[in-house]
Amino acid sequence: FFLKEAATAKNRSTTAKIEARVAAVLRDRETCANLADFAAMGARVDYRICDVRQEADIEALLESVYAQYGRIDAVLLGAGVIEDRLIVDKTRESLSRVFDTKVDGAFFFARHLRPDTLKFVALFSSVAGRYGNRGQTDYGAANEVLNRLAWQLQARFGERVKVTSVNWGAWARTTNGLGMLTPETARQFRERGLRLIEPDDGRDFLLNELMYASRQEVEVVAGEHRWDELEDEAARALEGVLT
């Protein structure tokens, strides 16, 4: 349909615009399928949409939830986009989309959440933030900001709220989703020996962190790899920059 529409004289869409529209349709399908699965299992889902880069939208969303339900027990913040390119090839607009979607929303939620009923806060960070990844300078920086914010929230909320920042590795396909890797990122993961996280394993990991981990264990890495080697690699890279 989009290709036919683009071929008309009235609408000369570029390939990039067509791909973006197709991606949006596929995301909507995945969301609808997930909601249907929840309903089939007997869960009640109240699905609301807002732009996480707009503080007024987040404030209005939270206020509406507080008004309807009286409290918020847990927040799992997973908003994010990737537009992988080397930093020299990035536009300011692209960098802002990637960075702001992760960072702005997290700070806005932190500013407007009421801690009195809150029990859990989970920020979905990435191993790209802790260890870096080629072509993901903006994404990595944004995720490391989430890690720092998690420590700040833990100090602010104290023992009454479990705060965790999960540095996820890449997920494999879910029931309705295609996974989270671009072809280039998938190649990099394979070269570095990183295994994809299976959905059941990722779910169990998160639940165990929220329910049983110490409140002092704020920043965690999820996924199977020789993480100590990446720590050494990151340290050597930093030394090269500073010397």
pTM: 0.79
CA distance 56 to 48: 15
Lowest mean pLDDT among 13-22, 27-36, 82-91: 13-22
**How do residues 163-195 score in pLDDT, each as one tens digit?**
999 999 888 877 777 666 667 767 777 777 777
Confidence of residue 52 (pLDDT cuts 50, 70, 90): very high
How is residue 115 annotated by DSSP?
A: T
Share of the chain above pLDDT 90, in %: 52
Residue 142's domain comprises 51-242
Tell me the average pLDDT of the chain: 84
Residues 143 and 167 in one domain: yes
Name the domain count of the chain.
2
Residues 7 and 120 in one domain: no
Residues 19 and 67 in one domain: no
- Give residues with Cβ within 8 angstroms of 193, minimum separation 6: 225, 226
Written as one letter, the residue type at 79 is A
Confidence of residue 2 (pLDDT cuts 50, 70, 90): very low
Q: Which pLDDT does position 56 carry in this prediction? A: 97
Between 210 and 171, the more confident residue is 210
Query: ∠ CA(65), CA(162), CA(97), 5° rounding?
Result: 60
**How do residues 214-233 score in pLDDT, each as one tens digit?**
998 999 998 776 667 666 77
Task: Give the domain CATH number at 108.
Answer: 3.40.50.720
Residues 35 and 61 in one domain: no
Q: How far apart are the first and last CA of the chain?
A: 55
